[in-house]
Amino acid sequence: MERGSPAMTASPQNKKSSATRTRKSARAIAFSILLDVETKAAFASELLHSRLSRETDPREAALATELVMGTLRWQRTLDFLLERYTKRGAAKLDAEVRIALRMGIYQLRHLQRIPARASVNESVELARRARKSSAAALVNAVLRRVSAEKDKPLADFLSADLQPAERLAIEHSHPAWMVERWLRKFGQVKTVQLLAWNNQAPAQAISMVNPLRRAETVQSLKNAGFEIAPGRLLKDALIIRKGNVTSAPEFQHGSIAIQDEASQMVPLLLGVGVGDAVLDLCAAPGGKTLVMARLAGANALVVACDIHESRLRAMRERLQSAGVKNAHLIALDGTRALPFAIKFDRILVDAPCSGTGTLARNPEIRWRLRTEDLAALHSRQVALLTSALDSLAEGGRLIYSTCSLESEENELVVAEALAANSEFHTEPVQISEDKLAEGVRDRDIIDDNGAFRTFPPTHHTDGFLAVAIRRR
């Protein structure tokens, strides 16, 4: 990454040069990440974490993050504008040109603090550096036209005969099929709230890997300049209001973890007691396993499974770092009959899902997911839940959870898995009020059917559902 040397900071001219290099470097990082997200199905948050080191200038890291996440969140709107100014669809452009134009349009319409001239020139330079010099004139011409109209409302460019879902999809940058579903499920007001929420940067919620060092860790973060607020739902959760927590030594060393509050809530719903035999069927990256292992006690049996051995290796290191020694990690396919001779008192099935409750945090999901994917996910989720139920002890409790807003992955999965077996029944989830943040009551997070449910604009968390199942 480019940095100005200390010897070049004496004059205003040199300060300006240093700042320019910082912006270029941030744009180059963002461009490479967006290209990998587009062409390699990578995840932006993982790439940002791996490529923005503790040594990265904070301003550079902040701009790179803003460009990556903002461009991904507003991709549908950016592509609509791109098509308006190029008279061709985004898919017809080379990926490098498409991304340079998206980044440029995003800066011109959303980042008013950045001079338009810099946004245009740097986008042209990105295309050249990506060996697309032949497209540099196109990028320059398009962005100059965008710049001339950058203050015009988007509504001025929309056709009057657009269908409501299509209009919302362009205005709020979501796939039209997703908007149509949510309009049917949530209605107009809640859907617009959800769309708007998904285009904002969510707060960073963190959990303590070692609760006994909570006070020491919090003070260390504050001393380092982080602005910390209490959790909205959970007493033990913390919200980072200011600062990139991934740069903190506490994060690098594994003392804290980024974990949405709704996700932190899920393992608490199991009611794990000392000595309980616990199974976490879809365990990686391990945050929920860690909580349940501590609740079960050092002498309890805790089994954590995942289909990917590589994820278990990373999880093993995390648990060892946290001092958890009672968790046994096993690589297996949870959709098949489980190999355990014993029955478990508590089982968590935090199922792999579409992630539609996490689109503010993982904006690329909205561009990859297809409506037909929900049927495939449903089948896999039913298989996971069915195999887990067979390993549940008499009187035992299972929590089925997802970070999806879709009925196919939630209520319909539970209904299908239980339909053929009268041994099991759903029951209201329970959470001790002493775990909840001040002013929060269980009725705020438990719906009329007794399920734990969060709606992002209402609860300021990811969208989660968790259902409790008991074996008679």
For 57-112, where are the alpha helices, taking DSSP H only?
A: 58-73, 75-86, 95-110
Whole-angstrom distance, CA of residue 143 vs CA of residue 85: 9
- By C-alpha distance, which of 306, 307, 303 is closest to 292? 303
Whole-angstrom distance, CA of residue 455 vs CA of residue 304: 28
Half-sphere exposure of 453 (CA within 13 A, CB side): 15
- Helix axis angle for 75-86 and 136-148, nearest 10°, is 100
Whole-angstrom distance, CA of residue 222 vs CA of residue 126: 38
Q: How many residues does the chain have?
A: 472
According to DSSP, the β-strands at 452-453 and 465-471 are antiparallel
Contacts of 74 (CB under 8 A, 6+ apart): 106, 110, 173, 199
**Rounded to the nearest 5°, which phi and psi values hold at 344?**
-105, 140
Choice among 282, 305, 353, 403 that is catalytic: 403
Rg, C-alpha atoms of the chain: 24
CB atoms within 10 A of CB 285: 15
Q: 397: which DSSP letter?
A: E
3-state SS assignment for residue 254: coil
* 403 tagged catalytic: yes
The H or E element containing residue 230 is strand 227-230
Q: What are the catalytic residues?
A: 403
